[in-house]
Every structure is written in structure tokens, then in C-alpha cells.
């Protein structure tokens, strides 16, 4: 029977004590294990809400770090998590190996091989798992149960310490959902973790950790699709308001005449159509956080009302004679340069300075060196679950192509590209085989030039004739006017609506009736 020597256990303990951070401690733990136990790949993963998240791994492709493995989707992981001790899988096991196709320098199914999984239990809680794979069959058979118990205890203690110190351990009791607005699609997405290990993202995470515990109102800046909403979620969940509501408001979607009612509420009979009293978003967020997305789209009249609420911590619902005291932290986001908007008179300087105590800028994906690969792995695993694929992996050439692309649509564009690529690859391979996503599956946008342009197309039907009806003439005039407004507003619907003094939603409906469509073509060098 193979035994873990005293010197090996001492090396593990010293390595863990000398590690400067969690990642270094995890890596030292895996290094020490591989010195004693022969294996071609090893992975340490934490378990949260039925999802295994890689913390450290060796021998597997880099994009695997971005994957999230739903335990119920993987029979081997399921057996490991349900066990109280290490489980060895025979080389002829019919259960698919979650790491098939992900071993470095090895394509396709793993050949006859050994696989072992160790549940990491601390007290009565399962914190995660440690898995080992070797291309040599039966290599784990002679390791003694006592050695595996020691290894499991040491690894579980390491993971427990990391989860406690880093405050990553999820609390069992979920925050009570007090209001139905929290059930919107925007807040039902998976988790609030910021995926990425680039230096610029680490700097952003540090800033979030610094500012989250404060009560400052925060301005979040960044291009479309970079993840400003995710930053807001992360700030909220790292603050002492995390048990209170996080309310989302898309400022660009509120008609100007309803802004005050939406934000501050109204009493029954306050205006035509007010058949019942209604709480506004500030009241719903009382004690918690209010996220004002696209705040740069708000008209000046609405900005002044928000400024008053921030200055005095008071709101006055429409039709109510007295004010109400509130306790709300405001997180605001925009893809506009608000300093320029202030100079040009489109944004109030006092509100800008009130929000800019600690501004955060979310970097575009093209500046996040190395993160594209990790995000590609994360989104590919999501696509695997949605499409019911057993195993799916990236071909090296496809990952290289993703890495050199400039991503004008940022993380949102990457997610869409990965979903389309996985769908195309599945059509070629089927859902039961190991699906490989290649360069030809990516369907990236034009990569020949370096610009991004919007084009307006219109469905005009037959050629114009000399005689037209009044309706046709009116439609033609409206079509031309809307197109001109869109072009002068750089194809921003809210800005175009303000130029025409109409509601944004009504303008979109009018454009649809007139056959006007706005599409984007992104091109990069």
C-alpha cells in the first residue's frame, strides 16, 4: 500500500504556510501532491450551489479555469460529491469524464486511464473536490485509505481557510426577497463574480473591494457590453447592504413624463391614470442599493430631482404633501463621457460631482490581456449546459483567433460569439460526441478594417410614382425626418427622441411602422 510520507505532509504544510495568497497556496498544494502521486492532471474545485468552480489545476487547458461544472450534469462529479471518501473510477467506467478533451497536448477521449475523486469535507460541510487523472490505468489503486484521508483533510482545511479569509463561502440563508422588482431578468443571471485574471481586472476588483463597504454613491463608466451591471452587483454584494434589495432602473427606457413617478412613486389620483398608489424605485430600494443604468440618458429635469434625493435623503411622491426620509445608496452607470456632457449642458455638474466621489472605469475586453481565453471557457461551459452537449472544447486555432480579435462589443459580444460557435459545432458533431469548436465556427464580424459603423436601412416597397396619397407623403416625410435624427444622434434612440421631442418608445414603434431598421457593422484592423 502506498503511503504519503511524513516529509510529503510536512512539505504540503510548509508550502501552505508560505503561500502569499490563496492562489499560491492552492498551487503549492497541487505541486506537493503531484510529487507523491503520479497523475497527468489534477484539479481543485470549490462547491457552491451545486456548481463546481475551478480554483487551481495543472495539466488541463487554460480555458478550463473559466468553466463552471454543474454537478448534476456530470455523473462522476455527482458520485464524488455524494461520497464520504475517495472514489476511484475503473478505466472501463461507462461514466463520461468531465475532462475528456481538456487535457493539455491531448485531443479526443482519454485512452484507458485512471481517475480518482476526493470529496473535501470540513466538519459536516462539503466544500469542494480534488480530482486526479492519469493516462496510466490503475495507478491510484494502491494508495492506502489512511493516506487519502490525510490528503483529504489537509486539502479541505486549506480550502476552508481560503473560503473564510476571502469571504467566498456562501451563507446558507438567502436574503429575503421583499419586492417583485428583484425577479427581473437582469438580476437572475448566474452569480456576481468577476471572471478574469488580467492585471487591469485585478486592479478593478481591488477598487471594488475598497469602495464597496463605504456608503458612497458610485459612478461606473465603460463602453457598452463591458459588464457595468456586473460591477454594480459586485459592489452591492460586498457591502453591508447585501441583505437588502438591489433595484435596477434603465433610465433610457423611462418616458420623460413618467420619470418622477417611476423613481419617487405617486399617490392614487395624482394624475390621469393613477388608479392606485405606487411606490417608486427609491422607496423600494430603501435600506439597499439603487442601480441607475444609462443615467446619461436622463433629461435635465429628472436629474435635478435625483440630485435633491441624494442631497437630502428625502423623496416626495407625486401627489403627496409631505416628504419621506430614505436610506438609499445609488450606483449609476453610463457609456457616455459625462464630463463632456456637463460642458455641453446636457448633464448637471452638481449631480456629476455628487456621483463622482469614487468613479470606477470598467476596461474594454481588448485591454484585458489573457481574459478572453478564460471567459471563452466560462461561456462555452454555459453553452454546453444549454445545448445538452456531453463534452465540448476549443481548438487552439479558435482560441488564438478570439485572442487577437478586438471585440468592439466587449464581453457581451464574446458571449454571443461563443453561443453561436457552440451551436454550429454541435450541428457538425452531434450532442453525444466530444464537440470541438474550430475557427470556422466563430463567425466573427468583419476583421479587415478598423472602424465600426452604423447603417440605416429602410423597406420602401415599390418605386415612387408621381401621384401619392396624403398618407404616403406623410410617411415619406416622417421616414426622412426620423432617419436624419438618428444619423445626427449617432444612432442613439434616446438622443434622437429628444431631438424630435417624442418619447423614445414611441419613436421606436414609429420607426418600425415606417420600415426603418438600425443595424451595426463592426470592423476592426
CB crowding 327-362: b at 16 or more within 10 Å, else e: ebbbbbbbbbebeebbeeebbbeebbebbbeeebbb
Q: What pLDDT score does 295 carry?
A: 93
Q: What is the pLDDT of residue 157?
A: 82
Query: What beta strand segments (E) does 123-179 contain?
Result: 125-134
Q: Is 330 helix (H, G, I), strand (E, B) or coil?
A: strand
Q: Which pLDDT does position 522 carry in this prediction?
A: 44
**Average pLDDT by stretches of 10, the chain with 525 residues:** 60 64 82 84 90 91 91 94 90 87 74 85 89 88 84 82 52 36 43 78 93 93 92 91 87 85 85 81 90 91 88 86 88 93 92 92 92 94 90 91 89 93 89 84 56 38 47 79 86 86 79 77 42
DSSP per residue over 278-319, as a string? B--HHHHTTTSEEEEETGGGS-HHHHHHHHHHHHHSEE--BT
Residue 273 is predicted with a pLDDT of 76
Which pairing describes strands 41-48 and 391-394: parallel, antiparallel, or unpaired? unpaired
Q: Given this model, what pLDDT does residue 170 score?
A: 33
Closest by CA to 231, choosing from 284, 285, 291, 179, is 291
CA 30 vs. chain centroid, Å, equals 29
DSSP one-letter string for 58-101:
ESB-GGGGG--EEGGG-HHHHHHHH-SS-EEE-TT-SSPPTTTT
φ and ψ at residue 204, rounded to 5 degrees: -65, -45
What pLDDT does 410 receive?
A: 93
Residue 185, classed as helix, strand or coil, is helix
CB–CB of 199/369 below 8 Å?
yes
Model pLDDT, residue 167: 45
CB within 8 A of 121, min separation 6: which ones? 84, 127, 152, 156
Amino acid at each position: 500500500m502506498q503511503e504519503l510520507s511524513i516529509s510529503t505532509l510536512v512539505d504540503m504544510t510548509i508550502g501552505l504556510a508560505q503561500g502569499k495568497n490563496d492562489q499560491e497556496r492552492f498551487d503549492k498544494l497541487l505541486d506537493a501532491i503531484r510529487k507523491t502521486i503520479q497523475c497527468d492532471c489534477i484539479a481543485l474545485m470549490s462547491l457552491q450551489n451545486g456548481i463546481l468552480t475551478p480554483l487551481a489545476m495543472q495539466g488541463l487547458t487554460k480555458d478550463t479555469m473559466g468553466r463552471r461544472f454543474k454537478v448534476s450534469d456530470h455523473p462522476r462529479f455527482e458520485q464524488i460529491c455524494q461520497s464520504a471518501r475517495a472514489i476511484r473510477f475503473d478505466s472501463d467506467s461507462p461514466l463520461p469524464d468531465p475532462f475528456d478533451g481538456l487535457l493539455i497536448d491531448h485531443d479526443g477521449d482519454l485512452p484507458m486511464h485512471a481517475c480518482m475523486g476526493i470529496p473535501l469535507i470540513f466538519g459536516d460541510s462539503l466544500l469542494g473536490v480534488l480530482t486526479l487523472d492519469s493516462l496510466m490505468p490503475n495507478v491510484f489503486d494502491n494508495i492506502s485509505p489512511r493516506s487519502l484521508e490525510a490528503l483529504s483533510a489537509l486539502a479541505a482545511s486549506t480550502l476552508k481557510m481560503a473560503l473564510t479569509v476571502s469571504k467566498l463561502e456562501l451563507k446558507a440563508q438567502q436574503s429575503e426577497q421583499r419586492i417583485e422588482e428583484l425577479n427581473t431578468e437582469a438580476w437572475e443571471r448566474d452569480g456576481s463574480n468577476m471572471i478574469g485574471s488580467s492585471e487591469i481586472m485585478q486592479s478593478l476588483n481591488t477598487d471594488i473591494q475598497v469602495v464597496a463597504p463605504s456608503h458612497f454613491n458610485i459612478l461606473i463608466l465603460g463602453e457598452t457590453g463591458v459588464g457595468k451591471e456586473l460591477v454594480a452587483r459586485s459592489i452591492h454584494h460586498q457591502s453591508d447592504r447585501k441583505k437588502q434589495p438591489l433595484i435596477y432602473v434603465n433610465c433610457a427606457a423611462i418616458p420623460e413624463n413618467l420619470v418622477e413617478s417611476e423613481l419617487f412613486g405617486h399617490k392614487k389620483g395624482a394624475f390621469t391614470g393613477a388608479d392606485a398608489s405606487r411606490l417608486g424605485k427609491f422607496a423600494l430600494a430603501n435600506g439597499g442599493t439603487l442601480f441607475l443604468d444609462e443615467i446619461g440618458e436622463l433629461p435635465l429635469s429628472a436629474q435635478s430631482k435625483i440630485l435633491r434625493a441624494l442631497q437630502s435623503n428625502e423623496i416626495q411622491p407625486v401627489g403627496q404633501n409631505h416628504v419621506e426620509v430614505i436610506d438609499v445608496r445609488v450606483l449609476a452607470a453610463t457609456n457616455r463621457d459625462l464630463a463632456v456632457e456637463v460642458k455641453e449642458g446636457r448633464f448637471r455638474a452638481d449631480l456629476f460631482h455628487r456621483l463622482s466621489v469614487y468613479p470606477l472605469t470598467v476596461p474594454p475586453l481588448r485591454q484585458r490581456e489573457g481574459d478572453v481565453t478564460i471567459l471563452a471557457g466560462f461561456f462555452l461551459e454555459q453553452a454546453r449546459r444549454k445545448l445538452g452537449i456531453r463534452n465540448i472544447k476549443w481548438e487552439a486555432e479558435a482560441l488564438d483567433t478570439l485572442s487577437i480579435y478586438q471585440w468592439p462589443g466587449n464581453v457581451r459580444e464574446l458571449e454571443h460569439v461563443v453561443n453561436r460557435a457552440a451551436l454550429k459545432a454541435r450541428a457538425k458533431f452531434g450532442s453525444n460526441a466530444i464537440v470541438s469548436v474550430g475557427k470556422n465556427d466563430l463567425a466573427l464580424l468583419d476583421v479587415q478594417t478598423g472602424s465600426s459603423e452604423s447603417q440605416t436601412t429602410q423597406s420602401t416597397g415599390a418605386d415612387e410614382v408621381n401621384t401619392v396619397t396624403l398618407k404616403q407623403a406623410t410617411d415619406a416625410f416622417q421616414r426622412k425626418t426620423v432617419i436624419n435624427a438618428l444619423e445626427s444622434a449617432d444612432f442613439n434612440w434616446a438622443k434622437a427622441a429628444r431631438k424630435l421631442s417624442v418619447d423614445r418608445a414611441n419613436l421606436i414603434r414609429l420607426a418600425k411602422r415606417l420600415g426603418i431598421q438600425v443595424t451595426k457593422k463592426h470592423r476592426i484592423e
